[in-house]
């Protein structure tokens, strides 16, 4: 039976360590978890069973393996030290018999985005970022529809636009939206991206290194590699949608607490075909996975064992190809979730009503 392995790591240190080691998660502080993670070996988490292609009936199995580093620790340590730990996790995948390895969360963005890891292993590697792009843009389209926003008339912001995922998301959205705000820290990279996209874009393209520009956007797709939140309540207009693809999250929890007129959705949740059992709670409902996991699984179902998405130059061709593969095997965009909770139609209607009231108040204030 063909198989895969997927590397995860603690993002919210106390919560995520508690999922495997309840006692350690309870007694250790975040800083202690950061420190001890330096010396902890990769951890076998669980076997994944029940995945079955809808088109071919093929079954695959897989494994979760944890790299113990937190995002903060990965940023603090020398790259070669982080590469060594991720490679150790990859060697565990090889011993288990995996045919392909997926890199999750920060293990996919550190350094050269998987190239060094792939070169150090005997099995192929993917970051899963190609399918993440496709699912993130689909999530924005779906959310725009339920929030009564016409994307062809809207201003869409891509935060982290110069990153590997953000750049291709911007390329896709620049063919659909009226106006696209490209937001990142490096203005020279933003200028280069704008110049490249201008050739085929239907959208007006605006670049900014300031988060204040988000007040102009009805739709926001955010995918930075920041270890801290970057989007706060004051950055957002009533009725807007924020699709947060980043892990750790880009959207501050204060947004959910302070703004009942904003729809914040987690990007990239996918239904996995078959009666899948992950044998581990990573925060999603049963049968659902992150898009980056889904890419790894889809490649295993396809029997396409190659370094698929590695490095920071994701091509549109790869995005389109993995979308076709995943769709054929039965992967589907899942329902909306926000801060790990399902979003109901009733909640969406409440956000719409609150947004209308907020806009009316703003109009009255501006016309008085």
End-to-end CA distance of the chain: 70
What's the pLDDT at 349?
94
Helix (H) or strand (E) segment spanning residue 266: strand 263-266
pLDDT for 86 beyond 60: yes
| CA atoms of 54 and 330, how far apart (whole Å) | 5
Q: Kindly state the average pLDDT of the residues 238-255.
A: 90
SS3 of residue 263 by DSSP: strand
Of 224-233, 293-302, 346-355, the least confident: 224-233
For 50-70, the pLDDT digits (tens) are: 999 999 999 999 999 999 998
For 17-47, the pLDDT digits (tens) are: 888 888 888 888 888 888 888 888 999 999 9
Q: Kindly state the average pLDDT of the residues 316-327.
A: 97
For 306-317, the pLDDT digits (tens) are: 999 999 999 999
| Phi and psi based region of residue 311 (left: phi greater than 0; alpha: psi -120 to 50; beta: remaining) | left
Contact 133, 319 (CB under 8 A): yes
Could you say which DSSP state residue 174 is in?
T
Confidence of residue 368 (pLDDT cuts 50, 70, 90): very low
How much of the chain, in percent, has pLDDT values that exceed 90?
73
Contact 225, 216 (CB under 8 A): no
Structure tokens at 116: 């060094």
pLDDT for 13 beyond 90: no
Q: Kindly state the average pLDDT of the residues 334-361.
A: 85
Q: Kindly state the average pLDDT of the residues 94-107.
A: 96
For 71-81, the pLDDT digits (tens) are: 888 988 999 99
261-282 per-residue burial string, b: 16 or more CB within 10 A, e: under 16: bbbbbbbbbbbbbbebebeeeb
Of 4-8, 223-227, 278-282, 287-291, the least confident: 223-227
Greatest CA separation found in the chain?
71
Domain boundaries, the chain: 3-130+270-333, 133-268+336-367
pLDDT for 346 beyond 50: yes
Per the prediction, the chain carries an average pLDDT of 92
Confidence of residue 89 (pLDDT cuts 50, 70, 90): very high
- Starting at the edge strand found earlier in the chain, the sheet holding 155-159 runs 204-208, 179-183, 155-159, 219-222, 241-244, 263-266
Please give the model's pTM, rounded to 2 decimal places.
0.90
Strand partners, 241: 219, 263
Beta strands in the chain (DSSP E): 3-8, 43-52, 59-66, 101-103, 125-126, 155-159, 179-183, 204-208, 219-222, 241-244, 263-266, 269-271, 274-277, 288-290, 332-333, 337-338, 341-342
Confidence of residue 364 (pLDDT cuts 50, 70, 90): low
pLDDT for 268 beyond 80: no
CA 107 centroid distance within chain: 12
Structure tokens at 97: 């018999």
How much of the chain, in percent, has pLDDT values that exceed 70?
97
The residue assigned the tokens 């113990």 is 68
Confidence of residue 366 (pLDDT cuts 50, 70, 90): low
Structure tokens at 204: 């007006």
Provide the sign of the torsion angle of the four alpha carbons 75, 78, 79, 82, taken in this order: negative
Task: Please report, for residues 244, 246, 288, the alpha-carbon distance to residue 268 in angstroms, rounded to integers and kept in the order given.
Answer: 9, 10, 10
What's the pLDDT at 341?
81
Of 47-51, 182-186, 225-229, the least confident: 225-229
What's the pLDDT at 243?
94
pLDDT for 227 beyond 90: no
CATH architecture of 133-268+336-367: 3-Layer(aba) Sandwich (3.40)
- CA trace torsion 89, 94, 95, 99 (10° rounding): 130
């Amino acid at each position: 039976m063909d198989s895969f392995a997927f590397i995860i790591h603690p993002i919210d240190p106390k919560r995520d360590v508690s999922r495997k080691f309840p006692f350690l998660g309870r007694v250790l502080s975040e800083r202690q978890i950061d420190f001890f993670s330096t010396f902890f070996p990769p951890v076998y988490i669980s076997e994944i069973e029940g995945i079955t292609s809808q088109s071919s009936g093929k079954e695959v199995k897989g494994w979760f393996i944890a790299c113990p580093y937190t995002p903060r620790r990965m940023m603090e340590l020398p790259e070669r030290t982080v590469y060594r730990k991720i490679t150790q996790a990859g060697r565990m995948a090889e011993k288990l018999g995996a045919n392909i390895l997926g890199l999750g969360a920060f293990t996919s963005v550190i350094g050269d985005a998987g190239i060094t890891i792939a070169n150090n292993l005997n099995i192929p590697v993917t970051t899963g970022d190609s399918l993440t792009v496709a699912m993130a843009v689909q999530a924005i389209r779906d959310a725009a529809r339920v929030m009564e926003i016409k994307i062809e008339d809207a201003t869409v912001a891509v935060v982290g636009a110069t990153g590997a995922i953000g750049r291709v998301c911007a390329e896709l959205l620049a063919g659909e939206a009226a106006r696209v705000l490209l937001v990142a820290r490096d203005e020279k990279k933003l200028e280069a991206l704008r110049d490249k996209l201008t050739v085929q874009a239907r959208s007006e393209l605006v670049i900014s290194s300031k988060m204040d520009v988000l007040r102009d956007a009805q739709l926001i797709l955010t995918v930075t590699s920041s270890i801290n939140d970057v989007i706060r309540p004051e950055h957002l207009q009533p009725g807007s949608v924020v699709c947060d693809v980043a892990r750790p999250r880009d959207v501050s929890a204060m947004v959910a607490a302070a703004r009942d007129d904003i729809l914040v959705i987690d990007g990239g949740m996918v239904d996995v075909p078959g009666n899948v059992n992950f044998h581990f709670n990573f925060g999603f409902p049963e049968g659902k996975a992150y898009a980056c996991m889904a890419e790894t699984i889809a490649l295993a179902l396809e029997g396409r064992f190659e370094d698929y998405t590695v490095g920071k130059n994701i091509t549109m061709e790869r995005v389109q190809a993995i979308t076709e593969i995943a769709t054929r095997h039965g992967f589907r965009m899942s329902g909306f979730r926000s801060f790990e909770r399902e979003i109901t139609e009733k909640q969406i209607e409440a956000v719409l009503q609150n947004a209308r009231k907020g806009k009316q108040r703003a109009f009255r204030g501006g016309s008085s």
